[in-house]
């Protein structure tokens, strides 16, 4: 179990659980029990957001001349609200990558994960666990130079388990947004 609140329980499904229908049972400290059937899939992508406006829980990384510089994609304003922090897109010999965080993505891996930003295909350079045993996945994406000056853009991720287990195509994650200078 990762977190519990009055309206939500977050937990990590072990990778050894077979795809299909499984029953989840919950017992409260007072002994009240409830159970529900859930569908288990090798992929069920979901991207993390930091506010109700779907602002991506991500970081941009500017790569230039062998130097990497992190750029936040959000900040806190003087009222304490989380707001976008515009990302500078690399030009010439510099590149900008976006590291997205989510769940249910690692099963597809880099080869079966695609991302579009503002409708433009973006190169996925990594899709897998963000660290050992966390249940959080990371997807690194090279942002297309054509995005420069685009403003608020949607980021859409699709992940596939495999063509044999999902012959109809990929599973869409929720859209998130970043702002581009």
CA-only gyration radius of the chain, Å: 18
Residue with tokens 């179990």: 1
pLDDT for 132: 79
Half-sphere exposure of 102 (CA within 13 A, CB side): 33
Residue with tokens 């069920």: 44
pLDDT for 135: 85
The whole-angstrom separation of Cα 61 and Cα 1 is 31
pLDDT for 162: 55
Residue 32 makes CB contacts below 8 A (sequence gap 6+) with none
pLDDT for 174: 95
The whole-angstrom separation of Cα 75 and Cα 138 is 20
pTM for this one?
0.87
pLDDT for 154: 98
pLDDT for 168: 57
pLDDT for 161: 67
Query: Residue-wise over 5-20: b if at least 16 C-beta within 10 A, else e?
Result: eeeeeeeeeeeeeeee
pLDDT in tens, the chain (181 residues): 788 888 888 888 887 888 889 999 999 889 888 999 998 888 889 999 998 889 999 999 999 999 999 999 999 999 999 999 999 998 889 999 999 999 999 989 999 999 999 999 999 999 999 987 778 999 999 999 999 999 999 999 999 865 455 555 678 999 999 999 9
> DSSP string covering 142-153, please?
EPPGGGTT-EEE
Q: Which domains does the chain have, with CATH numbers?
A: 3-40 (no CATH), 46-180 (2.60.40)
C-alpha 59: how far from its chain's center?
Answer: 11
The whole-angstrom separation of Cα 77 and Cα 79 is 5
Residue 77, CA distances (Å) to 83, 162, 177 in order: 7, 43, 18
Residue 173, CA distances (Å) to 43, 157, 160, 179 in order: 10, 5, 11, 19
Residue with tokens 């029953």: 23
């Amino acid at each position: 179990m990762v977190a519990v609140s009055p309206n939500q329980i977050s937990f990590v499904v072990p990778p050894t659980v077979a795809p299909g229908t499984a029953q989840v049972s919950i017992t409260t400290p007072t002994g009240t029990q409830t159970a529900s059937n859930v569908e288990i899939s090798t992929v069920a992508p979901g991207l993390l957001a930091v506010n109700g406006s779907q602002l991506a829980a991500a970081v941009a990384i500017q790569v230039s001349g062998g130097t990497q510089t992190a750029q936040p994609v959000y900040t806190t304003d003087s009222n304490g609200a989380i707001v976008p922090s515009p990302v500078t897109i690399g030009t010439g010999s510099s590149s900008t990558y976006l590291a997205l965080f989510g769940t249910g993505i690692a099963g597809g891996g880099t080869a079966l994960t695609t991302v579009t930003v503002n409708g433009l295909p973006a190169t996925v350079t990594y899709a897998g666990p963000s660290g050992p045993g966390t249940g959080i996945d990371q997807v690194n994406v090279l942002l297309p130079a054509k995005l420069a000056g685009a403003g608020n853009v949607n980021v859409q991720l699709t992940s596939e388990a495999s063509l044999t287990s999902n012959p109809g195509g990929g599973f869409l994650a929720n859209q998130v947004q970043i702002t581009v200078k």
